[in-house]
Amino acid sequence: MFLHIGVFGSLVVVLDFDRTPDIAMPLAINATLVTENAVVIPPKAEDPPKVAELPPEPDKSKQERLAAEQQKRAADARVERERLQKIERAKTEAEAEKRRKLAEAEAEKKRLAEAEKKRLADIERQRLKNERLRKEAETAARQQELDKEVQRVAAMTASAKSAYIFAIQQKISRNWVRTANAALGLECTIKVQQQPGGEVTNVSFGACNGDATIQRSIESAVYKASPLPAPRDPSVFDRNLTLLFKPEE
């Protein structure tokens, strides 16, 4: 086949010899002599140029799904974190509230204890005061009764003593013989000593406005009155009597 092409080319060159030949570069023809019996080996077909493979289009739905999953995980993590934080805050607040209540309970317990202590102290103080007032009242009442009794006894004694003294004075007066020189307004204090039975053992004078004669008459009357009258109340008996001799005018 190449041989035929070469012959055909030569003819073209010969037929165009009248023309001014242009200077042309000789064509290099690569030819291969092929005999009739030769086996024509076809030229090796060149592999078509490989077209660069484009990267596959990314699966947007998968990316969106992954992004959504990531956002969901982030949201879930945030929710879980907030939940844990809320639980921790609640726990902290609960512990703080517990401590506050315990402190309040302790303070209330202390306050009640102090109040109870004060109440008991007030009760004890009031009891002691009442006891003191009761004793004072009882003492005052006893003293009042005693004073009344003393006054009653004193009155009775005074009355008995007065009656006793009056009886002695009357007996002495009955035994006295008025002297001629006894003036009106005679008044003498006589001191008489006696035995328990009333027997007179001694007579002396205190203040007296009578002379010696009058005093001897009075002394004689006292001895004549012996034994002196006994008191109705033995408690008023006195061994040493002080008598006022004042005869009736």
- For 104-118, the pLDDT digits (tens) are 999 999 999 999 999
DSSP string, 49-110: PPPPPPPPPP-HHHHHHHHHHHHHHHHHHHHHHHHHHHHHHHHHHHHHHHHHHHHHHHHHHH
Give domain limits for the chain. 162-180+187-245
How confident is the model at residue 2, as a pLDDT? 44
Provide CB contacts within 8 A for 182, sequence distance 6+: 210, 214, 217, 247
How confident is the model at residue 133, as a pLDDT? 94
Count Cα neighbours of 240 within 13 Å in the Cβ-side half-sphere.
Answer: 2
> What's the predicted TM-score (pTM) here?
0.42
Does the pLDDT value for residue 12 go beyond 60?
no
Per the model's pLDDT, the better-predicted residue between 131 and 15 turns out to be 131
Q: How many CB atoms lie within 10 A of CB 210?
A: 19
Surface-to-core class of residue 87, CB atoms within 10 Å of its CB (0-12 exposed, 13-18 middle, 19+ buried): exposed
Does the pLDDT value for residue 18 go beyond 80?
no
pLDDT band for position 83 (50/70/90)?
very high
8-12, 64-68, 126-130, 225-229: segment of lowest average pLDDT: 8-12
CA angle 181, 186, 190 (to 5 degrees): 110
pLDDT band for position 241 (50/70/90)?
very high
Q: Would you call 205 helix, strand, or coil by DSSP?
A: strand
CA angle 218, 224, 227 (to 5 degrees): 120
- For 125-162, the pLDDT digits (tens) are 999 999 999 999 999 998 888 888 887 777 777 788 88
Options 3.40.50.2300, 3.40.640.10, 3.30.1150.10, 3.30.365.10; CATH of 162-180+187-245: 3.30.1150.10
How confident is the model at residue 42, as a pLDDT? 59
Q: What is the mean pLDDT of the chain?
A: 81
How confident is the model at residue 59, as a pLDDT? 62
DSSP alpha helices (H): ranges in the chain?
Answer: 2-15, 60-174, 212-225
Quote the DSSP letter at residue 235.
G
